[in-house]
Amino acid sequence: MVKEAIQGDGKARVIIALLAVYISWGSTYLAIRIALKDFPPFFMMGIRFLAVGAGLFLFLRMRGAAMPDRVQWFNSILIGGLMFVGGGGVAVAEQWIESGLTSLIIATTPLWTVLFAAIWKRRPTRLEMTGLAVGLAGIAILNYENNLRANPLGVAILLLSAISWSFGSIWSQRLSLPAGLMSGAVLMISGGALLLIISLFAGENIGRAPSWESVGAVLYLAVFGSLIGFSAYNYLLGKVRPALAASYAYVNPVIAVILGALVAGERITWIGITAMLIILTSVALVMLGQKDK
């Protein structure tokens, strides 16, 4: 599958990029939970994206990369808002919902992607529609889990985050954005700045000196989740079929659930396991049913 998906680039680079996305994004759910011990959600996510985006932007400019034009900056604000402000919702929801279960709801992202792709005349196949139905069934089962049933607001925020990220990902392929890594840099700058503005209006503040554990989690999110993870994902979008690029969605929950149980002592109930298997099956069906680029 990997070999067929590659479009004029080395197989090794694609495999490395896939592993980078799987591992970095699969572990960010737990890192977010640790960072939230001392940092408010919008501020934590905003400073993470803005710092990495600004650093990458300056590095690329020093290397001779072209300055984005006004249209590209405007488009980056739109897409950055959809993708990264939506991503900020994950941190908000993790104040009430465990990291492993959070990753399961975010695993529905490809299901929404299929729906939004239809806006641009790309109708879902029967297999994709089957995956959508199975995925919704998995979400219904998750709502019987005590953790989710007690926090309907958290569930709603996570679903909106998945929808926002999906729409932003699809729309970004139809708008003029900078090429290569510069695209990721300006998207992170735009999204990070918007998150900090939301943090300001929400009245967020750091009530005490953050622990080294939380600071380390933010640094981990910045380096692995933002710089490495998003750069690798952005690379895959331009080099392989969408199905392969989005495969992180059904690998990450497994990593997140295992890490949550081993490191943070989170519970894994039979209902959670059943829902996880159903959701992963649904996403796999959607991936198998997608047409080639």
Instruction: Sketch the domain layout of the chain as residue ranges.
Output: 8-289
Residue 289's nearest CA partner among 124, 144, 166 is 124
Model pTM? 0.79
According to the model, what pLDDT value does residue 19 have? 87
In angstroms, the CA 36 to CA 222 distance is 14
According to the model, what pLDDT value does residue 62 have? 93
Backbone torsion region of residue 121, taken as left when φ is above 0, otherwise alpha when ψ lies between -120 and 50, otherwise beta = left
According to the model, what pLDDT value does residue 290 have? 57
Q: Where are the alpha helices (DSSP H) in the chain?
A: 2-5, 11-35, 41-62, 70-80, 86-93, 99-106, 109-117, 126-142, 146-149, 152-172, 181-201, 212-220, 231-239, 242-245, 248-263, 270-289
Q: DSSP letter string over 71-102?
A: HHHHHHHHHHIIIIIHHHHHHHHTTTS-HHHH
Cβ distance 83 to 12 under 8 Å? no
Residue 248, token pair as written in the block: 């992180």
According to the model, what pLDDT value does residue 13 have? 83
Q: Residues 291, 123, 160, 95: is their CA dihedral positive or negative?
A: negative
Residue whose token pair is 């950055």:
80
According to the model, what pLDDT value does residue 122 have? 66
In angstroms, the CA 180 to CA 288 distance is 28
For residue 75, what are the contacts with CB-CB under 8 A and spacing of at least 6? 175, 176, 177
According to the model, what pLDDT value does residue 263 have? 72
According to the model, what pLDDT value does residue 5 have? 45
According to the model, what pLDDT value does residue 8 have? 45
Residue 125 to residues 119, 223, 255, Cα–Cα distance (Å): 14, 37, 29
Mean pLDDT per block of 10 residues along the chain (293 residues) reads 47 84 84 89 92 94 92 94 88 80 77 78 74 76 57 84 89 86 92 94 84 92 89 79 71 73 71 78 73 48
Helix axes 41-62, 212-220, angle to 10 degrees: 50
In angstroms, the CA 293 to CA 277 distance is 28
According to the model, what pLDDT value does residue 113 have? 78
